[in-house]
Amino acid sequence: MKTILIADDDPDYLFQMKVKLERFGYRVITADSQKEAGRILETVKPDLAILDLMMETEDSGFILAHKISRMYPGLPVIIASGVTAETGMDFGPAASGDRSLIKADLFIDKGITAERLEREIQNLMQKH
């Protein structure tokens, strides 16, 4: 059984994602902060991570993604954000300047459908 780490400071979103991913057949570990996710990563190597962009700081997801890339090179990382829905501004690799600085494989909006999320996860796991 594949393990997915979800880090998000919104308890409702965290719970909803955990339920969805468990229905897909994944083992799910949750963290409600960048700090907690960092502690988990010291003892557990997930098969994939889904990180909220903004938790304790505006770039918590980027910091965690960078940490994961150093600790577990090649581990797929998804950054989830509500920035587009909340601000109307596009957010993603094309809008983020130097793509090489961002250690994420995929950017998703938090409103992604369960079916698309499952496809994206499967695609990333097959590539890695």
Q: Report pLDDT digits (tens) over 70-101.
A: 999 999 999 998 754 444 444 444 444 444 54
Give the three-class secondary structure for 110. Answer: coil
Rounded mean pLDDT of the chain? 86
At 93 the pLDDT is 46
At 83 the pLDDT is 57
Q: Domains in the chain, start-ordered, CATH in brackets?
A: 3-127 (3.40.50.2300)
* Integer angstrom CA distances of residue 106 from 1, 11, 42, 83, 123: 22, 22, 23, 15, 11
At residue 35, what are phi and psi to the nearest 5 degrees?
-60, -45
**Distance (Å, rounded) from C-alpha 87 to C-alpha 6?**
23
**Structure tokens, 89:** 């501004």
**Structure tokens, 33:** 């902060």
What stretches in the chain show pLDDT beneath 70? 83-102
pTM: 0.86
